[in-house]
Structure 1
Amino acid sequence: MDPRVTYWHLGMHMNMDITRFLVEGREDQYLRHFFRDFAYNPNAFSEDDVQFYVMQMRQPGNLRASLNHYGYIPQMAEQTKELTRNKLAVPMLAWAGRRSFGDHCFDCAKAIASSAEGGVIEQCGHWVFEENPDFIVGRLNEFWPRYS
């Protein structure tokens, strides 16, 4: 993994024990880094928000549980490859911030679903619900009624 790339942490997090060793006791610095540096708006999370997540992450087993997602990335990649053979018939909504995944989320959704909607949210980073909640709520309010 090249540490200069935006998502350097994926490889690190896949080794859950090393990550746990490095993060435990430093959860506040760790989360503050991700909440601030992966955002378009570094103030999207208040200090109270950060401390709430720190408190949750410090609960027994929670840090390791949060890292489990990364440990399954190779397996998820294989599953996604299978999904591209016969596209999903369920409606899919995929939005991402320009300063985060950009077109990647929507492109992936189109690759695995026959009915994908979404795109890129300008002036937004990784935390779309915190950085642009009105936009997301608006899209969800348009999306769900069509399929309920």
Structure 2
Amino acid sequence: MISTIPAFEHAKTSVNGLRLHHVTSGSGRPVVLLHGWPQTWYEWRHVMAGLAEHHRPIAIDLPGFGDSDIPHRPGEAAVMPDDLLGLIDALELDSVDLVGHDLGALVAFAFARLHPHRVRTLTLADAPLPVLGVEHPQWANMQHALWWQSFHKVPDVPEALIAGREKLYLGWFFSQHSADPSAIGPTDITEYVRAYAGPGRLRASFAFGRSRDELTERLRREATPTLTMPTVVLGGAHSMGDLMAAAQGLGDDITHEVVPDSGHYIPEETPSWLTARLTEFFNRPPTCLRSS
């Protein structure tokens, strides 16, 4: 585990029978950061360094990822928002600025609809939102291009084919879906491979996709119909870009922006741009945002 970045505090907190690894820096109003696949908390390292001057960024390894415990339970996607709630409670946070990328954006989206009073602002970055019911005519082509989502849902086969080839497999995603592949260098890929090559880690990383229909059904039963908090939706100019605008109908205060010069991995490809945009969003006039 990379733990030598100055001013980053690593900890594990017990939640729902799991120890969840999280990394904290700075002080002030809490900002919870949720990573995507195939990444961990580590994807937020640059953004955390920028936010820490005025905020308290908390980057979480989602259950089964990074250095968090691997759950052994059915319906993983449907219960992951409960783990996030448990961690926020354990850290004694009232409401948070919640930021999610890729898979983490799906978790953040679900959490914000299930527990809107705990989310001060919501930021969703480059996520395939149709899997949670946000549709747009052009998404069909995009989802066809996301072939690995269907591949990862096949029981046992992906783990068997990828095991021992994690560097080749994960490296392909970073090289193919970054506008500037050098933004995620060899040291970074080594850290991600370490996190995904451990016993049971590949299987755990596929659990969300294999059970996401159960989360969709839970949202239909339990969640608020729209997002009630101020929300920013981001798409990389060389990735999901304008397609993320499909989320604008999910609430009354949703802003869509295209991130210039970025592919899919926005927090690592354009960390300065993202840090500045998040800081601006978090500091909107108090009349526009609920108090924390």
Q: TM-score range by the shorter chain?
A: 0.7 to 0.9
Which whole-Å deviations, capped at 9, do the CAs of 1:87-139 have from their partners, x for residues lacking one? Answer: 2211212111122212222322x132221123111321110011100111011
Q: 2:252 maps to what in 1?
A: 114
Structural mapping, 1:1-148, within 5 Å: 5-76=144-215, 86-108=225-247, 110-146=248-284, 147=289, 148=292
Percent of matched pairs sharing the same residue = 29
- Once the two structures are TM-superposed, the CA of residue 76 in structure 1 deviates from its matched residue by 4.8
Which segment drifts farther, 68-77 or 92-101? 68-77
With normalisation by structure 1, the TM-score equals 0.83
Note closer, same or farther for the CA distance 1:32–1:98 as it changes in structure 2 (3 Å cut). Answer: same
The structure whose residues are more often strand, as a share, is: 2
Root-mean-square deviation over aligned CA pairs: 2.5
Which range is displaced more, 36-45 or 114-123? 114-123
CA contact (8 A) 1:16 1:68 kept: no
**Structure 1 residue matching 2:192: 3-state secondary structure:** helix
Unaligned residue ranges in structure 2 (runs of 5+): 1-140
Distance 1:114 1:78, change over 3 A: farther
Structure-1 separation of matches of 2:191 and 2:270? 20
Describe the shift of the 1:80–1:115 C-alpha distance in structure 2 as closer, same or farther (beyond 3 A): farther
Report deviation, 1:74: 3.4
Provide the aligned length of Structure 1 versus Structure 2: 144
Higher percent of residues as helix: 1
Counterpart secondary structure, 2:184: coil
Structure 1: 5+ residue stretches without partners? none
TM, length-normalised to structure 2: 0.45
